[in-house]
Amino acid sequence: MNALLTSAVAGLTAGGTYALLGVCAVFTYRLVAVVNFTGAAIGTAGTFVLIALYEAGYPIWPSVAAGIAAGTLVGVAIGYIMTRWFGEASASTKAAVTVALLVGIIAIGLRLTGGQHPHNMPELFPGSAFRMAGVEVTIASVLTIGLAALFTVLADLFLNRTKVGLNLRALADRPMAAELLGIRVQLLSLLVWGMTGAFTTFALMIIAPQRSPNFMTLSLLVVPALAAALVGLFRSFWRTLAGGIVLGLVEGMASSIDSVSQYRSAIPFLVVLAVLLWSQREARWDEAR
């Protein structure tokens, strides 16, 4: 029983990351109408800039800042491709384009980072924050969950309390009507891509030491992230947040049960399936808005 609890708590860090990546996916979907499969890959690119600088002997925090800046830039670059050439495309076309981009980014990333070559990923926040039911809760897990909650609160405030947020909601509702009113549609879209790029990069930097810091593995964290977003039906930030955390916990528990541990990467898939069957909202994937 205690072992189960320990591994559940160990899954919290992953859960926090899934939650943050999921919330960013919902943010992107709601505001620029793209189911973005490159979300984690963008953060991975930024994380590897940090790793490269750190391995080259640069001090850690400036390297973190450079990595986040790089992740933001990659996000903006992908956003540019999506708004410039696929702005008018259907939701399913856009999703397919991001899958293609994901494959491209992974290929380039693996080439540049040397595939399975072991990397020295600095642990940004080592140690435990507190003990819960006799189990150590790491600072990393508290931080990722906190960051996810912070992003959720900030996104909410930003969208509902600021003029830029209002413009973004108008843009999400009717892009052409917004553009006809002189709203700087492209700039706003790139802002969304940049913001999510920055947040995902930081989240991946925190979780990378716990995973094998391999470009492909980290990029594919988008799968549980989109599963979490689906729990929120690509609308609700808070349900996505909860979905991500629960996904991490379940995955953690599964890893301690020998008979199921080898199947634990299938859990996001099972969650997706369960949510789809339960809510019968498959249409969400294809809905234009």
Q: Radius of gyration (Cα) for the chain, nearest Å? A: 19
Q: What would the x/- binding string for another protein be over residues 182 to 201, using CB under 8 A?
A: xxxx----------------
CB of 85 to another protein, least distance (A): 15
DSSP assignments along 231-261, one per residue:
HTTTT-HHHHHHHHHHHHHHHHHHHHSHHHH
CB of 185 to another protein, least distance (A): 6
User: For residues 172 and 191, which CB has a smaller minimum distance to another protein in the complex?
Assistant: 172
Residue 179 as a binder of another protein (CB under 8 A): the answer is yes
**Torsion sign across C-alpha atoms 264, 279, 151, 21:** positive
CB of 32 to another protein, least distance (A): 15
Residue 88 as a binder of another protein (CB under 8 A): the answer is no
* Cα–Cα distance measured from residue 236 to residue 197, given in angstroms and rounded to the nearest whole number: 20
**Closest by alpha carbon to 39, among 269, 206, 208, 201?**
201
Residue 282 as a binder of another protein (CB under 8 A): the answer is no
Q: Please report, as a single letter, which amino acid is at residue 99.
A: V
| Cβ burial, residue 284 (10 Å; 0-12/13-18/19+) | middle
User: For residues 135 and 233, which CB has a smaller minimum distance to another protein in the complex?
Assistant: 233
User: For residues 77 and 170, which CB has a smaller minimum distance to another protein in the complex?
Assistant: 170
Q: Which of 107, 108, 181, 260 binds another protein (CB under 8 A)?
A: 181
CB of 68 to another protein, least distance (A): 30
DSSP state of 90: -
> Restricting to residues 111-170, which ones interact with another protein according to CB under 8 A?
163, 166-167, 169-170
Q: Which of 84, 111, 131, 174 binds another protein (CB under 8 A)?
A: 174
Say which residues have a Cβ less than 8 Å from residue 284's Cβ, sequence separation at least 6.
230, 233, 234
Q: Which of 4, 133, 177, 257 binds another protein (CB under 8 A)?
A: 177
CB of 179 to another protein, least distance (A): 5
DSSP state of 211: S
The site for another protein (CB under 8 A) is made up of 163, 166-167, 169-170, 172-174, 176-185
